[in-house]
Structure formats: C-alpha cells, structure tokens
Structure 1
C-alpha cells in the first residue's frame, strides 16, 4: 500500500469516527433520561422518570424493541441549564439512542443543540413556544407548546367566562415568558385588557406582594402560569388575602402536586390541561392505576408524557425495522399513532413536521381536591 492510499484510509477513518452514527449496533437500546431529579424541578422530574421506567419495564417484559432490551439511564440536570447540556453530552457519549427530557424549557433550549449536532432524537416535555421553531429536526414534544394551549384557554375565558380584564401572574423563565407572551397575545386579539402583569422568580417563597398587586388591579379574572410548587404558594397566599376572583391557568396550575400542596386553596381553580390521570380516556385511566399500584402515588401529566413518549419510540423503531436515530426522527415527523396501533400511546397523538404534538385536551376544574373534566377539546 502506497503512502497516498494510507493517508486516504486514515482520513476516511477519522471522518467515520467524527460523524455521529445514526444506526446503532449494540446489544441494548439506550434511552437517556435527562431530567430534573434535584433542584426546583425535582417533583415533576420524578414523575417523568417513573412514567418512563414503567413504560420500559413493560416493553422489556413484552420482548423489548426488535428483540433488544431497552436500558434507561438517569442523568440529573439539577434543574440547571448548563448542567443539562453536560448531561446530554454525557448521554450521547454513553451511546444514547434517544434523549428523553428535560421538562424545563430553559434547559431544553440550551441542550437541544447538542443533541441536534449529534443527530440524536430528543423527546421533551417542555412548553416554551419557540422550542419547535428553531429548525431542529430532532426535537419532539409530548407536551403542548403554549402557542397551542393558550388559544383554547382564552377562547373559553372570552366566550364562557365573559372576562373583560385579566391580572396575569407568571414565572420569569423561558417556560413562564413563553406562556405569558402567548396568553397576552390571545387576550389582545379578543379585546380583553391586561389589568396587571406580575412576574415572579423560580423557587420564590413569598407571594404576599404579588397578590397585593393582583387583587388591587381591578381585574375580574386572574391567570396564573408558574411551576407547580410556586403555583401552590401563590394559591395559598390568594386565599390568605381573601381574594375571591376566579382563577385560571394551564396544566401546571391544576397539577396533582399543586392539589397536594395547596390544600383547599386550589378548589375552584379552572384551566386547560393537556394530559391528566383523571381524563375520560380508557388508556390513560388504566395507566394511572398501574402507576399508582407501582409507585404508591398518583401520576401527573409529566408521568403520562414520558410513558407515551417511550411507546412512541418503540412503535416507530419497530415500524422502521431498525434501531436508527435518523430513521426515528424522519418517521416520527408527520406521524399519527393511535391506541389501536400501539396501546402504550394511550390517546391518539400526532406530530407535525416540526415535532409539535397534537391531540385532544381538557378543560378542568378542581373540586374537593379532585380534578374534574368540564369538557374535552378536540385536536387542532
């Protein structure tokens, strides 16, 4: 072999190592659970982790995917964007077939580029609208983006509640700002006034001053868009200060964690929910029973999102007939999966060409500490 041939082979070998390999040749299929297991997001991250692990246990008990065992490894983001980026890189270095998570939008915005650059599909529970607008062909949601959920909620406020002036409370991070901006945009399109606009911080403990601003704003309705633990604190402070205005929100406000933490302060709260354990959907109700029996607590929407996300990966990989990252991403775009196709998907679910999810959702009111479905809202 001459020197030129040797150089060509060496260069080709280096290029092969440098380019991420889409097709995975390994004994197990690796799911990387990159999720919030400590820090402010630990409660929602634990739900996600447990939902994912329940799905994987079932998949393995049924023979795995294409006869291969699925292995889940947890990577704790610590609810920190920089740490989440490092965890995604570590997961990829460890041979992840797919990244599952995170939930916090700020972390996803930071780490999704690492997954994209390596050609690794990522299934997230994040809700910030712009996550699926960043030309990333590998990002997929199992949660509604705020740009999909807010039009449904504001339509209800305008047509059923007859709201004229709304006090807006939101958490100052990517999740909160994205939801707040989408909500305010929808209010303005319907001629509803924003009476006051009150931002708070992640992990904020004292909401006394925030509530003073909300109740003195002259609003006829309050909209709250915060993470679960902060939502509970806000509701308790609203009750403490005797605020009687109707309170509306999105999925996090009616989350089981909020119901558990806020006590009777959450009763009467209404809003739009993408997924919930008490949804009038047979597959979801069966999942909730299995989850409760295994973990001894009631699952929230994050557990459901992780569970059906794992089954989406199973369905697509089986459909493709190969464990191939690129094929997984390509096939999931524009796909609809029904419970008839794959029972683990729980509810008919579609993804568009940007990875945005679409399915039925629900209007919910909390009564006596329980989430009660007022109406089912069809897919967009």
Structure 2
C-alpha cells in the first residue's frame, strides 16, 4: 500500500504543478497606436507586427509559462487622445506600455508611464525623446541623433553635395530631424539652400517643389511622413527635379513605394529596418508577415514585432514577470539573434533607452528597396 500511496502523492503533486503552470496569469500589455488619422499606415503596421509576435510566442508556451495578451487603443494620430488612452491603459496596470508611433504622442504619454513606473517601448524617432532622463522609455529604432549624422555624411561624402534643400514636416518628428541634420550640414560645410516647412497631412506640394527648383540645390533631403513623402515625390517628378532625393526611413518605406509608384525610383536613404535587408531572419519575418496579412510590411511592422521580443528577452533574463524591475534590466542589455531569433539582428540598449544595431543605405530601384550598403553597429 505504501508504494501506491507514495505514487498517488507524487502524481497529485505533479498534477497540481501542471495545473498551476497552465493557470499562470497572463502577461497583459497595452498598446496606444495610430489606427486612424494621418498615422493609420504607421499604426496598422505596428499593430500587426505586435499581433504576429504574440501569436508566435503564445504558440510556443508564452513567456516563462505566461501567455501574452494585448489591448490596442486608437490614438487617432492625436497627442491629446493618445495621452487620454495611455492614462486609461495605465489604470489597468499593464506589464509594459507599447507605442505610440508618432513622436508628438510619445512626448505626452511618456511622463505618464514614467510616473507609473511602467516601461514604454515606442516607435517615435525624435531625438529629444530619450534625452530627458526618462529611464522607462525605450526605442525600437534609431533616434535622429543616431541616424541623421549618417545621412549627412552620406550626402557630403558620397553624393558630393555642397548645397542642399531641406523639406521637413512641422511637428515634433520633423523639427527634431531638421535641427539635427542642419547642425550636421553646418559641421560638414554643406550649405542649406532652402529650408522648407510643410504640414502633416498636406496634399499639395507644388509651391514647395517650386521653391526647391528656384534654390537649385545639389541634393534634396526630404523628412516628412509616409503619405506626404509619396505626394512630394510625385510632384518632384512632375516638375522635373533631377537632384538626388535623399531621406530617412519615411521616404523609402514600402508604403511610400506603393503610393508613389514610378516617382519613388531613385530615392535614397538610410534605414534602420527594412524587409529587404540581406539578413536571413528578416527575410523569414517578411514571409511570415505576408502570409498572415497579405501585404509587405514597412519598418513599423518590424518595430512592433521587435517590441514584443524585447519584452520576451528581458523577462527571460530576469527569470520572473516583474514590471517594476523591467526597465532596469533592459538598460544595457545586448540581445543576440542567435539566442532570440525574433529580435532579427543583434541589438544593444544603452542607459538612455536608445538602440544600437546594423543599419542600411538603400535606393528604390524599379519599385523595390535595394540595399546598397550595410552599416555596422556603432559600438
């Protein structure tokens, strides 16, 4: 009888343990994202990348036995709405706050997450976002302070431009990029022949392109949002501007190529993320995304996907689900793609929440991004 009783006790213990593992509380995430308004393209890609990563992780048992759950709230591409949605989300005590994608919305939501002691993983690229000492804010892509010096150096060293026209969108994202690259042009001795401010959602760029033609620069640096990038590329072609057109991710993303058509051909720029990267894990991500959503994602889709794998890697490093310790553990963390394939490329996060990894110089050729040069990690 004793062996039978012992076996019964062991079986009962194992059953209880299994039941506990299965009943582990889910890890709840809250996402504030541009699902409507001018940033809807950004938000749709970001959201789909998040959902794809969560589906993959849950299919393999979750994180430390916990399933992931996410709620998506629409910021309507409006900072005021984003702030209200963030406050509601934080009231629910999420493990991590995700988004927004627009820098202006990040700027007003970040203090709320910091006050709550909750890490925020966002898509904004304005340089100022990670310069204010907020230890809870993390990027999924390069900030302008990292990308703009590379772009300016390329225009000076490779394009050999001595004068440039700058076209930028009049919001936090555009102002930040314009200020950083203008400073870099000054350092390199490149003259700013025209400094042209545009508005978010602007439809007509005829007058702006006329100013560019009048300035006759050696190159044009374009730093506006995706849909506006497509519109100005069409107008530049219509008015016969032949100067090299150079920008950052928002000029040469997949959505821009789709909207601009032939007018996108020849546009060049630096991108931190592209589904055309010559990296096997990135190619695999693209295939999975296209299979699920029936379209090719832009960099925002990759950023959303990476945000979830940042959460996975950090939590597994801690060995526990601890929202208050999360930010401290992500600072200074290097995540190897060999250990976490979902991170796609080796990445390091510094003490400001800024990111360091490979980057790419690309050109649009016959409607596709062609990587011309792979840029290594800075450190």
2:24/2:65 contact within 8 Å kept: no
Instruction: Measure how far apart 1:341 and its partner are.
Output: 1.7
Structure 1: how far apart are the matches of 2:377 and 2:186?
Answer: 24
**Which of the numbers 255, 260, 266 marks the counterpart of 2:258?**
260
Instruction: Measure, in 2, the Cα distance between the counterparts of 1:278 and 1:150.
Output: 21
- 1:62-105 Cα offsets, whole Å, 9 max, x none, are 10111111001001110000111111111111221101111100
What secondary structure is seen at the aligned counterpart in 2 of 1:211?
helix
The CA distance in 1 between the partners of 2:88 and 2:347, in whole Å, is 30
* 2:195 maps to 1:197: yes
1:322 to 320, 323, 326: 320
Q: Which string of whole-angstrom CA distances, capped at 9 and with x for unpartnered residues, describes residues 48-69 of structure 1?
A: 0000000000110010111111
Q: How far apart are residue 326 of structure 1 and its match?
A: 2.2
Q: How many pairs are equivalent?
A: 356
Pick from 35, 47, 61 the counterpart of residue 33 of structure 2: 35
Deviation at 1:203, TM superposition (A): 0.3
Q: TM-score of the superposition, structure 2-length normalised?
A: 0.93
Gaps of 5+ in 2: 1-22
Distance of 2:24 and 2:88 partners within structure 1: 17
1:140-171 CA-partner distances (Å, limit 9, x unpaired): 00111111001111111111110100000000
Q: Which residue of 2 aligns with 1:99?
A: 97
With 47-56 and 81-90 compared, the bigger mean Cα shift is at 81-90
Q: 1:173-192 residue pairs with structure 2 within 5 A?
A: 173-192=171-190
Equivalent runs, 1:11-26 vs 2, <5 Å: none
Tell me which stretches of 4 or more aligned residues in structure 1 moved more than 6 Å: none
Deviations 1:112-141 (A, max 9, x none): 000000001000110000100111110000
Q: Does 1:271 align with 2:262?
A: no
Aligned 1:1-380 pairs, distance under 5 A: 27-380=25-378
Q: Root-mean-square deviation (CA), in Å?
A: 1.0
Paired residues of 2:335 and 2:343 also in contact (CA < 8 A)? yes
Tell me, in whole angstroms, the C-alpha distance in 1 between the residues paired with 2:93 and 2:332: 26
